[in-house]
């Protein structure tokens, strides 16, 4: 039995309610989680966990507030405190700032129980974006939502009170249908709307007003909001809300940047942007967006030659949008026809130039990944922090920032322990 296993068993089976309470009280303003790293997976595999404990570990794959985990109902409060304290003592459980905690919704608990105890397949969860190492970063591609079968979108039978008839736990509730209508209406209103209309601000709105409008809409239409709801056709709703949120993010990116906002207004006055003036000609900016989406499709197919060609065409059509050359640089790095060192150098130089002239979160994230591969961790961390600053909803950049900070804090703690040990040894030898 390893030392970690021994420590875990010691705390897990200790009769120390007072100590457990004192320990949990210290975590009142902290989030707890189990990072999905190889070390954590290996440690959990060696511990003898029962089904309920395994369910709790699944819930902790994201940072959670200690109070949410304690009240989730999987284990009694006393057992939760003892279990988490044992994991923390064995250096398996990590802690971080409470503001990083994700809300724990009943649907997640249900999925975790189904995954561990069976009784049917767990509800499908949205796939996370793949890591760069060994895989290809695949940005989301906006497509028109597929039409749902008529029988799939029909509203369930309801009683006079409006509640679903029968005892079907998956029946669509009034709240579910209200959210579905809200998403569909937002998607309809965004068609042919300009950026100001999408955010609901005036043309002379200041930066703070634009930022406030963006975060208000982000809370309403972020894809994570679908968690906990039951729909007859969830894939259609997921596609629609991602489309709505993507349009909101696009408007924010343009309007919060003074230079891009000025260029946007100039193009709008000349009829090159939809929503303010339409006209009957094919607009260069719209055509550039089409070519960019084609490039994203080629990246998904790992056809980096055609991906670069599409991004190059998009850049020529709209040389004011830094996203096109940003993805060209990324596709160029992924194109293995050339020597890795040379394409890494060229892609890095391109991204650094973009960050100086037209900073954007995609360029900051890609540059961070290249710096990370070059073992320039501090510079990579700074680049990931910049990506989060430019787009607070960038999940991949947020994850890289958290991992770096966790490793840094752990290294500092270990260095401090070693220094204390050396000081004690020196005092002993002097006697």
Residue 296 and residue 393 in one domain: yes
Asked if the structure places residue 156 within a domain, the reply is no
Residue 378's domain comprises 284-408
Domain end call among 269, 302, 327 = 269
Mean pLDDT calculated for residue range 3-30: 78
With a pLDDT cut of 90, the percent of the chain lying above it is 14
- 385 pLDDT band (50/70/90 cuts)? very high
Are 187 and 292 members of one domain?
no
End position of a domain, from candidates 117, 141, 156: 117
Tens digit of pLDDT for each residue in 49-66? 888 888 988 888 888 888
Phi, psi (degrees; rounded to nearest 5) at 149: -55, 145
Q: If you search the block for the tokens 């003892």, which residue do you land on?
A: 82
**Three-state DSSP class for 35?**
coil
As a whole number of angstroms, the distance between CA 81 and CA 411 comes to 26
Of 172, 25, 38, nearest to 84 by C-alpha is: 25
**Residue 158 counted as domain residue:** no
Share of the chain above pLDDT 70, in %: 76
Q: What is the pLDDT of residues 239-291, one digit of tens each?
A: 888 888 889 988 898 898 887 887 777 766 555 454 444 333 345 777 788 88
Nearest Cα to Cα of residue 361 among 407, 401, 332, 305: 401
Residue 249 lies in a domain: yes
If one compares 148 and 57, the residue with the highest pLDDT of the two is 57
What are the pLDDT digits (tens) for 332-356? 999 888 888 889 999 999 999 999 9
* pLDDT at res. 164: 45
Q: Do 300 and 354 fall within a single domain? A: yes
Query: In this predicted structure, what is the pLDDT of residue 159?
Result: 42
- The region of weakest confidence among 128-132, 173-177, 253-257 is 128-132
- Beta carbons within 10 angstroms of residue 302's beta carbon: 13
| Domain co-membership, 235 together with 300 | no
Tell me how many domains the chain contains.
Answer: 3
Task: Please identify, among 117, 142, 161, the residue that sits at the C-terminal boundary of a domain.
Answer: 117
> 343 and 237 share a domain?
no
At 354 the pLDDT is: 93
Same domain, yes or no, for 356 and 240? Answer: no
| Structure confidence by residue, pLDDT tens digits, 206-240 | 888 898 899 889 888 887 776 666 666 777 778 88
Instruction: Output 371 or 138, whichever has higher pLDDT.
Output: 371
Please give the Cα distance from 362 to 326 (Å, whole number). 7
Q: Would you state the pLDDT for residue 327? A: 95
Q: Would 252 be classed as within a structural domain?
A: yes
**400 and 302 together in one domain:** yes
Say whether both 27 and 111 belong to one domain: yes
Residues 350 and 311 in one domain: yes
pLDDT of residue 277: 43
Please indicate, yes or no, whether residues 292 and 397 belong to a single structural domain of this protein: yes
Give the sign of the dihedral formed by CA 372, CA 308, CA 136, CA 112.
positive
| pLDDT over 90 (residue 381) | yes
254 & 315 share domain: no
Positive or negative, the CA dihedral 36, 330, 382, 264 is: negative
In a domain? residue 431:
no
The mean pLDDT value of the chain amounts to 77
Same domain as 39, residue 85: yes
């Amino acid at each position: 039995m390893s030392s970690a296993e021994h420590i875990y068993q010691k705390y897990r089976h200790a009769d120390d309610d007072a100590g457990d309470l004192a320990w949990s009280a210290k975590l009142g303003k902290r989030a707890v989680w189990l990072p999905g790293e190889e070390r954590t997976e290996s440690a959990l595999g060696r511990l003898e966990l029962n089904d309920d404990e395994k369910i709790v570990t699944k819930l902790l794959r994201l940072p959670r507030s200690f109070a949410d985990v304690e009240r989730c109902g999987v284990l009694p409060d006393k057992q939760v405190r003892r279990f988490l304290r044992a994991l923390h003592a064995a250096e398996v459980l990590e802690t971080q700032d409470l503001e990083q905690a994700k809300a724990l919704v009943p649907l997640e608990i249900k999925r975790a129980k189904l995954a561990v105890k069976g009784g049917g397949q767990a509800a499908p969860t949205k796939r996370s974006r793949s890591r760069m190492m060994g895989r290809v970063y695949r940005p989301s591609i906006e497509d028109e939502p597929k039409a749902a079968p008529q029988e799939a979108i029909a509203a369930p039978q309801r009683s006079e009170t409006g509640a679903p008839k029968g005892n079907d736990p998956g029946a669509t509730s009034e709240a579910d249908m209200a959210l579905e209508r809200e998403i569909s209406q937002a998607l309809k209103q965004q068609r042919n709307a300009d950026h100001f209309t999408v955010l609901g601000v005036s043309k002379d709105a200041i930066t703070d007003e634009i930022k406030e409008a963006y975060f208000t809409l982000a809370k309403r239409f972020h894809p994570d909001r679908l968690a906990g709801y039951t729909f007859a056709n969830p894939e259609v709703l997921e596609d629609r809300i991602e489309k709505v949120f993507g349009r909101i993010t696009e408007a924010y990116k343009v309007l919060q940047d003074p230079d891009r906002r000025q260029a946007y207004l100039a193009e709008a006055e000349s009829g090159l942007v939809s929503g303010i003036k339409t006209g009957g000609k094919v607009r260069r900016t719209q055509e550039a967006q089409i070519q960019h989406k084609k490039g994203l499709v080629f990246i998904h197919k790992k056809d980096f030659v055609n991906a670069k060609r599409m991004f190059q065409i998009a850049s020529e059509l709209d040389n004011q949008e830094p996203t096109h050359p940003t993805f060209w640089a990324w596709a160029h790095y992924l194109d293995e026809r050339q020597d890795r060192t040379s394409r890494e150098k060229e892609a890095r130089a391109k991204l650094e130039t973009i960050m100086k002239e037209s900073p954007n979160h995609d360029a900051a994230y890609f540059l961070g990944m290249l710096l990370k591969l070059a073992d320039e961790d501090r510079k990579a961390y700074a680049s990931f922090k910049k990506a989060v600053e430019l787009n607070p909803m960038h999940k991949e950049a947020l994850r890289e920032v958290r991992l770096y900070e966790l490793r840094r804090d752990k290294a500092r703690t270990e260095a401090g322990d070693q220094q204390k040990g050396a000081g004690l040894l020196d005092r002993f030898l002097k006697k």
